[in-house]
A and B are shown apart, each in its own frame.
Chain A
């Protein structure tokens, strides 16, 4: 029961965050627009992973395997930026 209530709460939170993303797109924040959209999207992804994908209840090994790819994402972004920033 409580588990279901959590899921519904998370689902509502995701909907609200989607709404905020949509709202923010109407403001003119310059670079801030992209930053806000990415921040909200990351938050949503984190909620999904933690609750819907049960990462919250997993052991350290699973956490390690889940966080590892984020490191690689950072790597590819920084590697590519090291090129585009200095071109």
Chain B
């Protein structure tokens, strides 16, 4: 068992056998491209995290201490832009999606391997441009609202061009996944037998393809306004500043589902495996992904209630917003029904998956407060919003990503993580997360505005609490990453199917060979038939 073999024969190393820069930089293997994405996005998660720690340190005391106000503005802009555009949007789709979509549908690769490599390098190109914009760093917030973004001296055009490139990469990936899902499923793998992660990724890809062009063009318009003085958003030139917000949120609301749907897909894989029970309501979960993707396009105006938008539009958007909760509720209900009377075990992937459900419910239930017109006026741009989206994005998506990383680590590396350390990291992260963000609901409710480097002394205690929490959180995440590094180098050999899962990726060695499967498997049943044989519906 514990011969953590240092002498791995080439055969065991599967797709990892080849070494050297070229074999990675020019690879057409979806698994390697997935790994490249994972390393890149996780690196930016750490960068964004360090910036967040600096911001929390500044907020430890009411007055100015560590930095001046301009630096603070730059930091929250960078934190937001990095976390959103370089980590959470590409993280699961391009990282775990690239790695696992072909494996889960029994294919040898994605439909367009070269396009896949291109999209990775376009992504890197975007990052380089974004780094170039640091010569005069942005201070607009990650939303780039006009008219300020059209006037500030910072390198708005450069940064938005970088994000334009990152968006291109995202469109190409989405396109690739849609075609892959349609064309490359193994024989017998009907739509109603697809693993739910694939359904989540399919819905995600549709949003990426339909929504991303809008933000790309919006940023080009912004650049045109700044560089050539064309009046799209400047009222003095016949433009409309709210038009920018309409365009921006037409992308950015649906894109929160690019962030969350893949994570929901991961949860739908992990929960049945660790409760040894067929997923409850397969069809409902599958279709609710599509429903979320669709309804997500109807509600962008709920970010603009107090922007001076017309009251009629406000009422319409508020009304529509409540519909998103329905398919989301369906999913949560079905996960919990799957747990009911299952043979639950608490390995690290399961701990993170349950944490996802717990934190996402808190994040989700605070959404309607913001979606309702009247309460939004009170809560808008306060720490309540910050708490809400950190509970959904970090408590939801990031915990889902962590669940996926722990779940699929053996498949990706051929080695196991240290479970004890993984559980310790989980416990510390869980405590740290809630200590950091829960008080923000209270601060926000009491009126502390977001995006300010200073605050009234009455919020001092809350802020000390949150800053202390952020350090606990950082320790938890650090332990987790240390465990990843240790596992990659020293972990026990995993074997093909350590969790005894039924989906196709477990039917091939760990790490998988470059061709994924010796022989393309034929599928005769759905992948959730634990315990009793379930007749496919």
Contacts and interface: CB of A to CB of B under 8 A. Distances in A.
Interface in B301-350: 301, 304, 308-313, 316
Nearest to A61: B182
A79 B250 contact: yes
Interface string A69-84: 1001001100110111
A5 interface: no
A82 B300 contact: no
B298 A75 contact: yes
Nearest to B312: A86
Given A75-B297, A75-B298, A83 B214 contact: no
A55 B77 CA distance: 43
Contact of B300 (A61, A79, A84, A85): A79
B246 A76 contact: yes
Interface residues of A, number: 14
A67 B246 CA distance: 22
B210 A80 contact: no
A75 B247 CA distance: 12
B243 to A, nearest CB: 7
What is the predominant secondary structure among interface residues of chain B facing chain A? helix
Interface string B99-131: 000000000000000000000000000000000
B310 A85 contact: yes
A83 B298 contact: no
A26 interface: no
A60 interface: no
A54 interface: no
B243 A80 contact: yes
Given A76-B246, A76-B250, A82 B310 contact: yes
B301 A79 contact: yes
A61 B179 CA distance: 12
A79 B246 contact: yes
B243 A86 contact: no
Contacts of A79: 246, 250, 298, 300-301, 313
B309 A87 contact: yes
Contacts of B247: 76
Nearest to A65: B178
Interface in A31-75: 61, 68-69, 72, 75
Interface string B194-210: 00000000000000001
A75 B300 CA distance: 11
Interface in B325-377: none
Contact of A82 (B214, B250, B308, B316): B316
Interface string B121-162: 000000000000000000000000000000000000000000
Given A79-B298, A86-B312, 16 more contacts: A61-B182, A75-B297, A75-B298, A79-B313, A80-B243, A82-B310, A82-B312, A82-B316, A83-B242, A83-B246, A83-B304, A83-B312, A83-B313, A84-B310, A85-B310, A86-B310
18 contacts: A61-B182, A68-B210, A69-B210, A72-B210, A75-B298, A76-B250, A79-B298, A79-B313, A80-B246, A83-B242, A83-B313, A84-B242, A86-B310, A86-B311, A86-B312, A86-B313, A87-B308, A87-B310
* A-B pairs with lowest CB-CB distance, top 6: A86-B310, A83-B313, A86-B312, A87-B310, A82-B313, A80-B246
